[in-house]
Amino acid sequence: MKIIMLGAPGAGKGTQAKMLAEKYGIPHISTGDIFRANIKNGTELGKKAKAYMDQGMLVPDELTVDLVIDRVQKDDCVKGYILDGFPRTIPQAEALTKALSGRGEKIDAAVDVEVPDEAIVTRMSGRRACVKCGATYHIVYNPTKTEGICDACGDALILREDDKPETVQKRLTVYNEQTQPLIDYYKTLGVLVEVDGTKNLNDVFADICAILG
């Protein structure tokens, strides 16, 4: 089963992707992991990607698709895979469709974990992190025993820059402009699966599995 995960930052699609990968026995693939592995191993594609990244430039769509296609041809992808964080734009999606089609393959499902923007802002701005030991908490869903103090090491917790409401809102704006059109794209292809991401994560997982079978 070849699955793409869609959903705004903070919607919980990464968590669902990991759970689905475990259930179906297929790899959970993120473009970040692909880039890091290719750069670390000094592959030809990795060298090309690094040249762009070293200059602070985005890796071009064509090269990113080449890296993804190279990854999904590995032995562990025989039964399928879950792509998380790719594609992000329509050109990337079209390039992926074309590349897969050339191999006689296609995406089976694009899972959209739907969470309203205001709920994501609330969810992410409630996160707290411990700089010292790396533990993470949430003031509502996973509070510490003592407010503002890490349960694990006793150090003070912080609200990370990435989790501040204004930062989250900026990221959501970019997502809605760039990635929202993907929902329509995969709907047109007849593979879009929409689930309510505001539910408990186990309920969201159950809903996805019920649709995928």
CATH class of 2-115+178-212: alpha beta
Q: Is 13 a catalytic residue?
A: yes
Q: What is the pLDDT of residues 38-81, one digit of tens each?
A: 999 999 999 999 999 898 888 898 899 999 999 999 999 999 99
Distance separating alpha carbons of residues 27 and 57, to the nearest angstrom? 28
Q: Is 36 a catalytic residue?
A: no
User: Which residue in the list 2, 71, 123, 127 is annotated as catalytic?
Assistant: 127
**Residue 87, preceding bond cis, omega within 30 degrees?**
yes
Burial pattern 75-101, b for ≥16 Cβ within 10 A else e, equals eeeeebbbbbbbbbbeebbebbbebbe
pLDDT of residue 178: 82
Distance separating alpha carbons of residues 159 and 121, to the nearest angstrom? 13
User: Which residue in the list 2, 13, 71, 123 is annotated as catalytic?
Assistant: 13
SS3 105: coil
Burial group, residue 150, by CB count within 10 angstroms (0-12, 13-18, 19+): buried
Q: Is 160 a catalytic residue?
A: yes
Count CB neighbours of 111 within 10 A. Answer: 25
Distance separating alpha carbons of residues 25 and 80, to the nearest angstrom? 9
Q: What is the pLDDT of residues 71-127, one digit of tens each?
A: 999 999 999 999 998 998 899 999 999 999 999 999 999 999 999 999 999 999 999
Distance separating alpha carbons of residues 110 and 187, to the nearest angstrom? 9
User: Which residue in the list 50, 88, 164, 199 is annotated as catalytic?
Assistant: 88
pLDDT of residue 63: 92
pLDDT at 199 over 90: yes
Q: Is 123 a catalytic residue?
A: no
Looking from the CA of 209 toward its CB, the CA atoms found within 13 Å total 14
Q: Where are the domains of the chain?
A: 2-115+178-212
If you search the block for the tokens 């032995």, which residue do you land on? 75
pLDDT of residue 141: 87
Q: What is the pLDDT of residues 140-175, one digit of tens each?
A: 989 999 999 999 999 999 999 989 999 999 989 988
Residues in the chain, how many? 213
User: Which residue in the list 48, 50, 160, 164 is annotated as catalytic?
Assistant: 160
pLDDT of residue 9: 87
User: Which residue in the list 50, 164, 171, 199 is annotated as catalytic?
Assistant: 171
Distance separating alpha carbons of residues 68 and 31, to the nearest angstrom? 7
